[in-house]
Structure 1
């Protein structure tokens, strides 16, 4: 019997055609939510799921009794009940590595844009207000030679730290669950407790995954430990930060600025003050949003689901305990 795959994120046509050669594929690439009746019907026969950005719940899993594997077109797995998947013997795969450098580019873009007030001053020019040489009220801050504090030092955190240390001569601090001796040697990085890092860093960049342990990791107390000249950057997940506390700190000038690619609610609600604050650079979650990287992520997901449903070890399994590989 040909196994069935339900796709709920748009894939490149060539990759979709590749899947269709070996599997029966139900394509819901433009699906807005999981309440679609046709999608629900397809779940009943699905052996594999390929997608991202939608919350997979136990109720969804109950609707897919034959499900063997899920290939997420993402590196983060906070939309998946990993323990429940493992209990049910359902393999989860993700797409690490292929988006590391592109996401790190985005992180450093936010560091640069906030420090030099690039968006704010570009709008200043666009409005026709540049009528004379700029004075101190429009000056930004240097990046080179400053202290970069990484909250999280996984693949993406390390890639941002390399840009800072090797490209801009920055001093690197990091707060991480485990020491990184190789990065300490390569970059001169120094491990700190979170509170100590927040107090020392000129730039605080968050790259930790969202989990029960990291939810609202940065709140009013933590923001209060930062220098009033410091800049905060979040490319992790919106839930890692208490957004109301961040808005309050920015509005009161307790920190200098923030560069944000992720938010508690996405897309941002119309009443959010963040996009309208002069000291905020707000991006629409573009961390991995390049043609090359999104294709590479889709490629990895397609390879993962094919291998998983063929009884082979996928390229990047998350919960290997779900079933023998």
Structure 2
């Protein structure tokens, strides 16, 4: 009997993206009947949007594969896999994988959307409180060994209670809903923007609008969180004109992808004092160059694209999602997280 083959290509050069031994054992121990698993041992340079330069070991294993579990798909990988029918990316961002070669193939492509929502929402909450409660001021004063209450009690210091803020979440999907649920529980009113508002109002939101109403709701965004996928339609979504619509004292948070936000417009808003602060986990250029103005800006909190890091629980959710999809694929059932190649996510 010919065995159906799954290739697991998860030995990333980035340690936090490398498949844990317990997860590899779980895949092997729960292999459906009729399947064999080829675990690739060679490290590869795995990025959030796809895997570059598949290893020789991968290229040797993939021709007989029906399924692939890795970090996206590249044209060389697709060219070497004539029998590939389903691929699952452990990453949520898959923009670089959507190539003409993928569109022309018969491959069903699924991703890890949703598994990073909880830690990302925790990061958003922490970053927002950093500015709402003046912790940015506290850090600078502590570094200078200065005991000074004035920046906190000055009416212009921007210190407020969290429940006074209205929240706008651009991208009301899994991440956006997790953000809204946390902030709503703490007294905020949350409005979401999503591509298809007719799908309903996710948990945490009081209202959801479509992209055509973005300019209408931006003036309500005391806290504006960017959590949308990067597509041709969302690039520079928060540009200079839209940035100018944000209310005075707004806090901007980007945990999506750097190119969704106009860097120059955001910097101008911060420099002028019109914006209270920015929480930035992603940037147009990564790694962030040493001479970037973001590093030393007093109104900016920088994290190095790690908002989704949760060393064990993210992997638990990701493996559970993959294993359920593998079972569904084997049984001919509908898969979770099938990527819409036209929408870009």
Q: Is the 8 A contact 2:42 2:55 kept in 1?
A: no
- What TM-score do the two structures reach when normalised by structure 1? 0.82
Q: CA RMSD in A?
A: 3.2
Q: 1:154-233 residue pairs with structure 2 within 5 A?
A: 154-165=173-184, 167-179=185-197, 183=201, 187-189=205-207, 191=209, 193-233=213-253
Greater shift in the superposed pair: 261-270 or 18-27: 18-27
User: Is structure 2 residue 126 aligned with structure 1 residue 118?
Assistant: no
1:241 deviates by: 1.3
Q: 1:45 to 1:217 in 2, by over 3 A?
A: same
Q: Partner of 1:257 in structure 2?
A: 277
TM-score using structure 2 length: 0.78
State the distance in 2 between where 1:247 and 1:215 align.
17
Q: 1:254 to 1:307 in 2, by over 3 A?
A: same
Deviation (angstroms), 1:40: 6.1
1:307 CA drift (Å): 3.7
SS at match of 1:5: strand
Higher relative contact order (CA 8 A, sep 6+): 1
1:299 matched to 2:319:
yes
Residues in 2 aligned to 1:220 and 1:147: alpha-carbon distance in whole angstroms: 21
1:129-148 maps to which residues of 2 (within 5 A)?
Answer: 129-135=145-151, 136=154, 140-148=159-167
8 Å Cα contact 2:78-2:101 kept in structure 1: no
Q: 1:284-323 maps to which residues of 2 (within 5 A)? A: 284-300=304-320, 302-303=322-323, 306-307=326-327, 310=330, 312-313=332-333, 315-319=335-339
Tell me the equivalent position of 2:32: none
- Number of corresponding residues: 317
Q: Does 1:234 align with 2:248?
A: no
Question: Post-superposition shift, 1:4?
Answer: 4.9
Deviation at 1:273, TM superposition (A): 1.4
Instruction: Note the 1:103-114 alignment, pairs <5 A.
Output: 103-114=120-131
**Segment of structure 1 superposing worse, 142-151 or 62-71:** 62-71
Q: Which residue of 2 aligns with 1:24?
A: 38
Between 144-153 and 15-24, the greater mean CA deviation after superposition: 15-24
| CA distance in structure 2 between the aligned counterparts of 1:149 and 1:227, rounded to whole angstroms | 11
